Chains A and B, each alone.
Chain A
Amino acid sequence: MDAVLDVLTNPYYIQVMTMVGISLIAALGLHLITGITGQFSFGHAAFVSIGAYASALLTIHLHLPFILSMLAGGLAAALCGILLGYPSLRLTGDYLGITTLGFGEIVRVVFINMKITGGASGLTGIPRETNIFIVYVVVVLTIWGMYRIQNSRFGRALTAIREDEIAAETMGINTLLYKIKSFAIGTFFAGISGSLFAHMMQYLNPADFGFSRSFEILNFVVLGGLGSIPGTILGTVVLSLAPEFLRFVQEYRMLIYGALMVFMMIFRPNGLLGGVDVVRLLRSCLARLKVRRAS
């Protein structure tokens, strides 16, 4: 019992778990864009940073309550998502990837050069508002929202776009509009994640939101299993914790992390839970258990 309490109150573990939760929110946003709608975005961290800076500046300068500035951060990211999505979602596949990659770099450079964001030395003085409780409330809400979206007329239209865009369009789906909506929702959650991040770290630096962070979030989604919520959660948890667990090997840490990814791509190219319908699997397991108990 004491050991459990120890883990629960250990500030290091709490910090790590809070970070996992914050990453989860961003990853679930990207899951909607990439996993469900099939649009590759390589600039997700840029939207996280937009949400982070927007909400941080609002709490610092306007002293807005945290909930409001968090929502504002999400909306700011979504607005940028729509502005970027409108021209670039007309493109498909590689081109969209390249556009979002470029956008990610632009955002980073803009934040480095703006006075109000503190430039390259970063933004300080953000009040600490985030705690593990708030983060996991938002995580649960995000999962619930994603689940509802996926199992609706709206979500079906998004999966149709992922599977075959031309067929989706001839089945009566306004594909551009739906892609933009999906992008807006996905980037909204990126912004929320950023707001939580800003109010946890109390310090923001553009370097934290570079290409490598975007790629990390994409890894969470792809390695967990594209198009699956449990997959995205598993991917995020495993890949966020792996570097922490690998701390004992010190400088070989990132090497092993890289090797881990190579092996995963070889043995589970569709991701850990790719092509696995967890709900269906659970149901069939339960049914089998019942049969066994009856006999």
Chain B
Amino acid sequence: MSALLEMKDITIRFGGLVALDGVSFDVEEKKVVALIGPNGAGKSTVFNVITGIYTPTSGKVIFRNEDITGLKPYLITERGIARTFQNIRLFKNLSVLDNVKIGCHCRGRAGIFGALCRHPGVRAEEKIILEKSLNALDVVDLTGKRAELAKNLSYGEQRRVEIARALASDPVLLLLDEPAAGMNPQEKQTLMWMVQRIRRLGITILLVEHDMKFVMSLSDRVDVLDYGRKIASGPPSEVQRDAQVIAAYLGKEVVRECS
């Protein structure tokens, strides 16, 4: 069986800068795959290519055996890929519940006409949206804060709302961009449980993260990027010992001195 998501030889150039240089990797169904690498390695660019914010210069993104390269972001979400952002992008002046409800958008149908006359179909849909949103909030333990404005939540909670919002779109694949960034150890621990909970729901997870403890204890496989190239791939225990990976993180001189 082929993988859920296949990145095939993705290259993307911004003017003279090659942000990704022939990157290929697969994400198998129901696995947690981590993407790591030093700052500027191109991890977030990978996410932006998958979700359609950038169109790659060459290469293909295959999702469930369909070519989704260059599709508009909203169409990609409709096909089952949801994401969170490295720098939180919540709808700050809306309530937590509304944020999550907007996540359900691509699974709904009601338009202007439905908004005006609120026929039974629309009311039934609203009920489903509410139910789904509360379920998603339940996964991240934020049901009690549903009426708060998103901007009034703590940093860690805001990150969790982002996850709930992504979950509300019924994703098959969830992309988490540095979910643990800026969290204290306790919050990180909670987040880890939540990621495991989401995994048990049968959702495949691709995550970018700098916190190695977080990555190593959660992932089934780790891919390492450096200067837009994939330099290693394998189970966490192997990648940790890879000479190239250590060199990328610590610099070649350090590695030479140590050996």
List the interface of chain A (C-beta within 8 A of B). Answer: 145, 148-149, 151-157, 159-160, 163-164, 166-175, 181, 185, 227, 275
B77 A153 Cβ-Cβ under 8 A: no
Give the docked Cα–Cα distance between A19 and B258 (Å).
Answer: 83
A-side binding surface: helix, strand, loop or mixed? Answer: helix
* Contact among B78, B82, B103, B116 with A148 in the assembled complex (CB-CB below 8 Å): B116
Q: A149-B115, A173-B102 are in contact. List 12 more A-B contacts (CB 8 A).
A: A148-B118, A152-B114, A152-B115, A153-B110, A160-B94, A164-B89, A167-B85, A167-B90, A170-B77, A172-B74, A174-B72, A227-B93
B73, B107, B116: most-surrounded residue (chain A CB, <10 A): B73
A163 B91 Cβ-Cβ under 8 A: yes
A150 — nearest CB in chain B belongs to which residue? B115
21 CB contacts below 8 A, A to B, read A145-B116, A148-B118, A152-B110, A152-B118, A153-B111, A153-B126, A153-B129, A159-B98, A160-B105, A164-B89, A164-B92, A170-B73, A170-B82, A171-B77, A171-B105, A171-B106, A171-B165, A172-B78, A173-B105, A173-B106, A174-B74
Give the docked Cα–Cα distance between A163 and B83 (Å).
Answer: 17
B150 — nearest CB in chain A belongs to which residue? A163
List the interface of chain B (C-beta within 8 A of A). Answer: 51, 53, 72-74, 77-78, 82-83, 85, 89-94, 98, 101-103, 105-108, 110-112, 114-116, 118, 122, 125-126, 129, 165, 169
A163 — nearest CB in chain B belongs to which residue? B91
B-side binding surface: helix, strand, loop or mixed? Answer: helix
A145 — nearest CB in chain B belongs to which residue? B116
A159 B74 Cβ-Cβ under 8 A: no
* Contact among A171, A175, A185, A227 with B102 in the assembled complex (CB-CB below 8 Å): A171
CB of B130, distance to nearest CB on chain A (Å) = 11
A168 — nearest CB in chain B belongs to which residue? B102
B92 — nearest CB in chain A belongs to which residue? A163
CB of A241, distance to nearest CB on chain B (Å) = 29
A177 — nearest CB in chain B belongs to which residue? B74
Given that A160-B102, A166-B89 are contacting pairs, would A172 and B118 also be in contact in the complex, using a CB cutoff of 8 Å?
no
Residues of A within 8 A of B82 (CB): 170-171
Give the docked Cα–Cα distance between A235 and B106 (Å).
Answer: 35
B166 — nearest CB in chain A belongs to which residue? A171
Give the docked Cα–Cα distance between A286 and B164 (Å).
Answer: 33
B94 A163 Cβ-Cβ under 8 A: yes
Residues of B within 8 A of A275 (CB): 93
Give the docked Cα–Cα distance between A151 and B116 (Å).
Answer: 10
B106 — nearest CB in chain A belongs to which residue? A172
CB of B212, distance to nearest CB on chain A (Å) = 27
B74, B82, B118: most-surrounded residue (chain A CB, <10 A): B74
CB of A288, distance to nearest CB on chain B (Å) = 17
Residues of A within 8 A of B73 (CB): 169-170
Give the docked Cα–Cα distance between A72 and B83 (Å).
Answer: 44
Residues of B within 8 A of A159 (CB): 91, 94, 98
Give the docked Cα–Cα distance between A165 and B52 (Å).
Answer: 14
Residues of B within 8 A of A170 (CB): 51, 53, 73-74, 77, 82-83
Residues of B within 8 A of A157 (CB): 102, 105
A181 — nearest CB in chain B belongs to which residue? B112
Residues of B within 8 A of A164 (CB): 89-92
CB of B17, distance to nearest CB on chain A (Å) = 21
B108 A153 Cβ-Cβ under 8 A: yes
Residues of A within 8 A of B72 (CB): 169, 174
CB of A48, distance to nearest CB on chain B (Å) = 21
Give the docked Cα–Cα distance between A160 and B169 (Å).
Answer: 15
Give the docked Cα–Cα distance between A64 and B165 (Å).
Answer: 50
Give the docked Cα–Cα distance between A148 and B129 (Å).
Answer: 17
A167 B89 Cβ-Cβ under 8 A: yes
Residues of B within 8 A of A173 (CB): 74, 102, 105-106
Residues of A within 8 A of B98 (CB): 156, 159
Given that A159-B94, A175-B74 are contacting pairs, would A153 and B105 also be in contact in the complex, using a CB cutoff of 8 Å?
yes
Residues of A within 8 A of B122 (CB): 152
Closest 10 CB pairs of A and B: A172-B106, A152-B115, A163-B91, A172-B77, A167-B89, A169-B73, A154-B115, A160-B102, A153-B110, A172-B105
Give the docked Cα–Cα distance between A172 and B73 (Å).
Answer: 7
Residues of B within 8 A of A172 (CB): 74, 77-78, 103, 105-107, 169
A148, A163, A169, A275: most-surrounded residue (chain B CB, <10 A): A163
